[in-house]
Structure 1
Amino acid sequence: MTKTRAHTRRSTTAGKGRARAAAVLSCLVLGAVAFAGPAGATSSGTAPRTAVAGTGGWLRLAHFSPDTPPVDVYLYPFGGSKAEMVLRKVAYGMASPYEPVDAGRYTVAMRAAGAKATSEPVITSTVKVAEGKAYTVAGLGPSSALQLRALPDQLSASADRAGLRVIQASLSQPSVTVHVASGDRSTLRFPMSTPYKTVPAGPTEVKVSTVSGASTSRTLELTGRSTHTLVVLSSSGAAPKLLDLMDSGGASTQPLGGVEAGLGGLGKETVAAGESPSGSGTAMGWGAALIAGAALAYVSVRRLRRS
């Protein structure tokens, strides 16, 4: 009889222990999902934070000046001295994802990479963001005549068509001819850019030829209603490189801002003044800690079950 009561007490205690451990495990797993989910999305760098409808537009910053060294790019509210966004060590051929901003006027400033935020900018320019509109602010031209140009971005096309724009940013191949499979052909000199032209949706071959006869070709996957910016970049060879920036996937008027891997996507180099380089780092750290805790709780439950 004594043994039976002792056994019952041990079973009851073990049952309570398992229940407590299971509760802890559930909380940790749910917490890990809550923290790790947004962090993973933020760190991808391919989709912008969603701007609330009716509150603003989008900006994308880029460095397309071939002989200009890496820079830090600052975005200020017009007339303000506190940066809303800073891109660090932006080198030639890099473009940021779109970032949602309030409608209004902004100042964009480029400083030498690593220079103090209070130092004299290499160049500044202003951009006015209209409601629901997107813009690419790009450093263009040679370093001796550097300019910051705000290019309005198209966010949609008809159901069976796509929008395509070309930026000529190659100094080593200063004059190029762009052939599009649909029959469109244009000759561009550095640092020109074209307006958007509509082309049939589907796989579309684009060929860029230089005056020497060298050429680069690639096939773009253009979905209906999507818009793209094709950037012609300098290369060490006879033919230029091509960078495809997806402006919009066509499903809505919110830009996608996808940046090709391997050709200079800035990802989340974006930081807000006064904050850590990426808020997602903290969230990911907490998410990892919670997942580790969940794993320990799981082991504890297993051990209790075996006892």
Structure 2
Amino acid sequence: MRFPTVLLRPAGVLAATLLLLGGSSFAAHAAPGPGVGWIRVGHLAPKVPPVDIYFAAFGKPEKVVIRKAGYGAVTQYSSVAPGAYTVSMRPADAAASSPPALSATIEIKEASAHSMLVFANGPGGGLQGNLVQDDLTAPSAGNGRVRVVQGSAALTPVSVAGSDGKSVVSGAAYGITTPYTELPEGRWPLKLTSGSTTSDSTVDVKAGSTTSLLVTENGTGLKTEAIADGATLPDPPKLGVETGGGGTAPESLPWWLLVLPAALAFLVLLRRPARDR
């Protein structure tokens, strides 16, 4: 799953970015510590155009933290102080003073990770946000933990099964986030079924990992994207919203946007023939 232009990074760019930041290593199973909570936001409303996402400590002025987030996008985690926050969505490039398509108040607890998943199953087909907790505790030895986030509204309900017939989820309605299922480490071929529609996919399960398997609609079919429940870095960047701020305050930009140009330049350098370097 890709967040158009802003969010989930291709592995190559991420690796180059880490090199440029001094060779930081991936955390195998990172989790938030005391005094910190993690939050990420997913846009899973198929017919809703791209949106700007606003975030603020409760009672503080909103500021944009993500622009032009399209269907199927899920942000990286960001760190916030425990407390109450407001999450809002407006059409991309709409004025900050315009009425939001969605506004929700959420409570973030310390040493916890949450996903704010936005679906088009609210009253009258409007947007509705579901705050789900991400379980970052380690699964049993040799296993990974997988759950399904059902983001397909046109093809629903959806069942997901492994090649051996082991059910990951059966008959999940649109907007459902299932409990976790433990699977042995390895690459799992998957079959997705909704009525007469079937699609094939795979998920790589690593021992000790927890994963959300996003199901989205792709034309007349279904597709999946596996996202890690847990950060690739042990200390995700702060959103910088605790003191409030306006509109497009510079501190609202994700940290990786600041290093992305250098990362891309690094990739270009790697692709050049040795004689040119």
Which stretch has the larger CA shift, 179-188 or 119-128?
179-188
Q: CA deviation at 1:137?
A: 0.6
- CA–CA distance in 2 between the matches of 1:216 and 1:52? 35
Q: Does 1:176 align with 2:151?
A: no
Q: Find 2:148's aligned residue among 147, 152, 166.
A: 166
1:158 to partner: Cα distance: 2.1
Q: Equivalent of 2:107, from 125, 128, 137?
A: 128
Given that 1:167 and 1:191 are in contact with CA atoms closer than 8 Å, whether structure 2 keeps it comes out as yes
3-state secondary structure, aligned to 1:66: coil
Q: Residues 179 and 40 from structure 1, CA distance in 2 versus in 1: closer, same or farther, beyond 3 angstroms? A: same
**Partner of 2:249 in structure 1?**
274
Note the C-alpha offset of 1:39. 9.1
Structure 1's 281 and 216: CA in aligned 2 closer, same or farther, altered over 3 A? Answer: closer
Answer whether contact 1:154 1:163 (CA < 8 A) is retained: no
CA deviation after TM superposition for structure 1 residue 52, in Å: 7.8
Residue 205 of structure 1, CA deviation = 2.3
Q: Which amino acid aligns with 1:146?
A: L
> Which amino acid is the alignment partner of residue 59 of structure 1?
I
Structure 1 counterpart of 2:70 = 91
Which residue of structure 1 aligns with residue 203 of structure 2? 220
Contact 2:114 2:133 in 1 (8 A): yes
AA in 2 matched with 1:178: V
Q: Unpaired runs of 5+ in structure 1?
A: 1-35, 249-254, 258-267, 289-307
Q: Supply the distance in 1 between the matched residues of 2:149 and 2:116 (Cα, whole angstroms).
A: 12
Gap change, CA 1:110 and 1:199, over 3 Å in 2: same
Question: Quick one: which amino acid aligns to residue 225 of structure 1?
Answer: G
- The structure whose Rg is larger is 1
Q: TM-score, normalised by structure 2?
A: 0.72
SS at match of 2:218: coil
Structure with higher helix content: 1
Q: Check 1:74–1:200 CA distance in 2 against 1; reply closer, same or farther (3 A cut).
A: same
Change (3 A) 1:280 1:232: closer
1:101 deviation in Å?
Answer: 1.2
Cα deviation digits, residues 254-302 of structure 1 (max 9, x gap): x338xxxxxxxxxx9x8975106455566678999xxxxxxxxxxxxxx
1:53-132 aligned at under 5 Å gives the runs 53-83=33-63, 86-132=65-111
Residues 188-234 of structure 1: per-residue CA shift (max 9 Å, x gap): 1212221112222222222211201x322222111111011111111
Rounded Cα–Cα distance in structure 1 between residues aligned with 2:263 and 2:39: 30
Q: CA RMSD in A?
A: 3.3
* 1:232-269 residue CA offsets vs partner (Å, 9 max, x unmatched): 111112x2111111113xxxxxx338xxxxxxxxxx9x
Matched, 1:151 2:132: yes
Q: What is the percentage of aligned positions where both structures have the same residue?
A: 28
| Aligned equivalents of 1:256, 1:130: Cα separation in 2 | 21
Q: How many residues align?
A: 229
Letter aligned with residue 185 of structure 2: A
Q: CA deviation at 1:167?
A: 1.3
What is the match of residue 193 of structure 2? 209
Give deviations 1:73-121, integer Å, cap 9, x for gaps: 11111121143x5110011011111111111111111111101122211
Contact 2:42/2:117 (8 A) holds in 1: yes
* Structure 1 CA distance for aligned equivalents of residues 32 and 185 of structure 2: 30
For 1:181 and 1:207, the matched residues in 2 are separated by 7
For 1:286 and 1:218, locate their aligned partners in 2 and report how far apart those are by CA, in whole Å.
34
CA distance in 2, matches of 1:57, 1:146: 25
Looking at structure 1, the residues matched to 171 and 45 of structure 2 have their Cα atoms a distance apart, in angstroms, of 19
- Tell me, in whole angstroms, the C-alpha distance in 2 between the residues paired with 1:51 and 1:167: 21
Contact 1:62 1:136 in 2 (8 A): yes
- Asked whether the equivalents of residues 31 and 111 of structure 2 are also in contact (C-alpha less than 8 Å), the reply is no
Are residues 179 and 107 of structure 1, via their aligned partners in 2, closer, same or farther at CA, if it must alter by over 3 Å? same
CA distance in 1, matches of 2:35, 2:76: 19
**Whole-angstrom distance in 2 between the partners of 1:285 and 1:219:** 32
TM-score, normalising length: structure 1:
0.65
Residue in structure 2 matched with residue 200 of structure 1 by the alignment = 184
C-alpha contact 1:86 1:271 (8 A) present in aligned 2: no
* Structure-2 residue corresponding to 1:241: 223
Alignment partner of 1:191 is 2:187: no
